Amino acid sequence: MANAAPAAGVARDTTLQPVAVAPRRWEDYRGIAPDDILEDAAEQGRAVRGARILHVNATAYGGGVAELLASEIGLLCDLGIQAEWRVICPDAAFFKVTKQIHNAMQGTAAGLTNTDHAVYLERNAHCAAMLGNEWDVVVVHDPQPAALRVDDPAPNAHWIWRCHIDTSTPDLDVWAFLRPVVAAYDAYVFTLAAFAPAELAGDRLAAIAPAIDPLSTKNRSLPRFLARSTVAATGIDLARPLVVQVSRFDPWKDPLGVVEAWRLAREQVPGLQLALVGAMADDDPEGWQVYELAREATASEPDCHLLTNQTGIGSLEVNAFQREADVAVQKSLREGFGLTVSEALWKETPVVGGNAGGIPLQIGANEAGLLVDTVEECAAAIVALLEDEVLAEQKGRAGRERVRREFLTPRLARDDLALYARLLNGGDRPRGAGERD
């Protein structure tokens, strides 16, 4: 699709914004990802070479979806696929509604109004009109742009809805509104099949787990001196133990619960420090509200550090924190996957994870960390890993191997390529738009 310059007088939001990605080479992953995955991916890539594939999501930075696409798009292009990534037109009122939808699809009562419905559908229709019809596959990520499909703007394409959250128990009123929007897709992809609403069961449903890029700035190897100096520059005392949670400031990530668990753990581990490290995404108006709640709750706690991308924390700093932390926490109450779990495990840092969503998938049966359900269990798990260095090292080593086998970007790209091949080549594939019930 050509990147035409906007005409004079046209508002900035009248084009779907293309996102530039750095080149990726499959050969660079040799010796890192398993060889059988690289070979399988190459075979799947040959089956769809030359295909025009568009990914659309809500934001180019600040969330896990953006991180996935930043790596995967380059790998698809390296296989001779014409892959592009675009973000929908930004709009504050729209993002306020979509945040409500996002939470409601995870079970929170929302109470959307007819006006909210209109804001959502009109903004999607506005963006859909810019898609063009040159695509073979269009992959739409999460609820925000799901209604792009409604008016069939690219009728020659196969459409995939990729949902990164656990929608197994959605708010029924919001799901009643969203269900006909989603039903128009040729395939639905969830991290786990169990995350899909019951009505989406069937041969259009696929389960593909996300993954991390071991060669990204956030996950590549760092010299120890650089990691330590980077963390120390934020005010952390490297002579004392450190617990870190890296995640958006979101109620589902339970930052206040992490603070409570840290306070309990500190009673047994004097001097324990906590860092809450989060990114503020431009499609998440709730983020600053949650940040302020966490700031108020820890205002008198000099050993609790709140750090964001708005204060100089980027991928390098996150990498360093995940390496230098004694324990990484991801105490989510609801979770689609939680990339930060695999990020920490890749660095051999043991993880205490909420027993929710895709976190058990990464940790396994406590193979690579400890799963918890309550604040008290979280505190006890933190203490257990801090007091038993052998246990912590065992969990860390097991975690890195688990991630190497199952949760690196080449495996994600291989699985996505297999789905594209089924759709494009008419084999054993999810039903297309003309085959709906």
Query: Average pLDDT, stretch 178-207?
Result: 95
- What is the structure's pLDDT at 137? 98
Query: Average pLDDT, stretch 360-364?
Result: 95
The two tokens of residue 112 are: 């959307």
In angstroms, rounded to a whole number, what is the distance separating the alpha carbons of residues 307 and 275?
7
Residues 6+ apart with CB under 8 A from 301: 259
What would the DSSP string read from start to end of 39-98?
HHHHHHHHHTTT-EEEEEES-SSSSHHHHHHHHHHHHHHHTT-EEEEEEPPP-HHHHHHH
**3-class SS shares of the chain: helix, strand, coil, % to 5:** 45, 15, 40
Q: Are 303 and 276 in contact (CB under 8 A)?
A: no
The two tokens of residue 220 are: 């590549």
Measure the CA angle with vertex 4, ends 159 and 149; round to 5°: 20
In angstroms, rounded to a whole number, what is the distance separating the alpha carbons of residues 349 and 219?
12
> Is the pLDDT at 430 greater than 50, yes or no?
no
Domain boundaries, the chain: 12-211+409-435, 224-406
Helix 172-182 vs helix 92-104: crossing angle, to nearest 10: 110
Least confident interval from 149-158, 276-285, 299-308, 355-364:
276-285
Burial of 7 (0-12, 13-18, 19+ CB in 10 A): exposed
Query: Average pLDDT, stretch 10-18?
Result: 61
Query: Average pLDDT, stretch 8-30?
Result: 77
Pairing between β-strand 205-207 and β-strand 242-246 as defined by DSSP bridges: unpaired
Q: How many CB atoms lie within 10 A of CB 316?
A: 15
Chain Cα centroid distance, residue 90: 19
Confidence band (pLDDT; 50, 70, 90) for 309? confident
Query: Average pLDDT, stretch 68-73?
Result: 96
Residues 6+ apart with CB under 8 A from 368: 345, 350, 351, 362, 395, 396, 398, 399, 402, 403
Query: Average pLDDT, stretch 295-306?
Result: 95
- What is the structure's pLDDT at 2? 32
From 243, 434, 215, 432, select the one nearest 343 (Cα to Cα).
215
- What is the structure's pLDDT at 316? 96
Which residues does residue 370 pair with via DSSP β-bridges, in sequence order? 352
Per CATH, is 12-211+409-435 categorized as 3.40.50.2000?
yes
Same fold, 12-211+409-435 and 224-406: yes
- What is the structure's pLDDT at 427? 47
Least confident interval from 280-289, 371-380, 387-396:
280-289
For the chain, what is the total number of helices (H) and then of strands (E)?
Answer: 14, 13
Q: What is the CATH number of domain 224-406?
A: 3.40.50.2000
3-state secondary structure of 150: coil
- What is the structure's pLDDT at 401? 97
Q: What average pLDDT does the structure give for the chain?
A: 91
Q: Are 16 and 125 in contact (CB under 8 A)?
A: no
Least confident interval from 57-66, 164-173, 388-397:
57-66
> Is the pLDDT at 11 greater than 70, yes or no?
no
> Is the pLDDT at 252 greater than 70, yes or no?
yes
In angstroms, rounded to a whole number, what is the distance separating the alpha carbons of residues 154 and 264?
55
3-state secondary structure of 140: strand
Burial code of 221-240, b = ≥16 C-beta within 10 A, e = fewer? ebeeeebbebbeebebeeee
The two tokens of residue 217 are: 């700035």
pLDDT digits (tens, 9 = 90+) for 133-170: 999 999 999 999 999 999 889 999 999 999 999 999 99
**Strand ranges inside 310-396, DSSP E:** 327-330, 351-354, 369-372
Which residues does residue 30 pair with via DSSP β-bridges, in sequence order? 33
Query: Average pLDDT, stretch 318-340?
Result: 96
- What is the structure's pLDDT at 1? 31
Q: How many CB atoms lie within 10 A of CB 12?
A: 9
pLDDT digits (tens, 9 = 90+) for 101-119: 999 999 988 889 999 999 9
Predicted model pTM = 0.90
pLDDT digits (tens, 9 = 90+) for 75-98: 999 999 999 999 998 788 999 999
- What is the structure's pLDDT at 282? 62
Least confident interval from 14-23, 110-119, 329-338:
14-23
* Residue spans of alpha helices (H) in 129-254: 172-182, 224-232
> Is the pLDDT at 435 greater than 80, yes or no?
no
Confidence band (pLDDT; 50, 70, 90) for 287? confident
From 213, 227, 223, 225, select the one nearest 322 (Cα to Cα).
227
- What is the structure's pLDDT at 371? 97
Query: Average pLDDT, stretch 327-355?
Result: 96
